Amino acid sequence: MSGDESENGLRVLYNAECPACRFEIDHYRRWTERDGLPVGFDDLNGPERAEWGIEADAAARRLHVRRGGETLSGFPAFLALWAEMPRMRWAARIGGLPGIRTVAGWIYDRIGAPLLYASHRRRQRRRAG
């Protein structure tokens, strides 16, 4: 994998062509780099995606995180990422509470991710011509 992944590090697969995704992930990247955390970031539009074994369209639909041998996607991926960052652990704890996890996961799956994916598809169509 690319970046400075340690053996037990966390990897994030995200869409760097999505302005909202890139904005959020850039914050996380700065925080993890500043704190020296073993978190790496892979753009799904680059060659690193092949190492994940996830098709481009599936990868564009939601955030993916790999921790050890486990790949998480959607809201659980955010929880895993937040748990790695001292300044976001509070969000992981709150977001992981049973009722909140269910509601936040539903909102991500039914509203947030589909909106970002639709925007991604529009950008692809415009680029194609």
pLDDT in tens, 6-43: 456 999 999 999 999 999 999 999 999 999 999 999 99
- What local confidence, expressed as pLDDT, does residue 4 receive? 43
pLDDT of residue 2: 45
Supply the pLDDT for residue 1: 45
Q: Residue 11: enclosing H or E segment and its boundaries? A: strand 10-14
**pLDDT of 3:** 44
- Counting as low any pLDDT under 70, the low residues of the chain are 1-8
What is the maximal distance between C-alpha atoms in the chain? Answer: 45
Please, what is the Cα angle at 55 between 122 and 92, to 5 degrees? 85
Residue located via tokens 């990247």: 29
Report the candidate in 107, 128, 29 with the shortest Cα–Cα distance to residue 62: 107
The domain ranges of the chain are 10-128
Give me 85's structure tokens.
């960052």
Angle made by CA atoms 30, 78, 7, in degrees to the nearest 5: 70
Per-residue pLDDT, 104: 97
Q: Is 9 strand, coil or helix? A: coil
Q: Which residues contact 4 (CB under 8 A, 6 or more apart)?
A: 38, 40
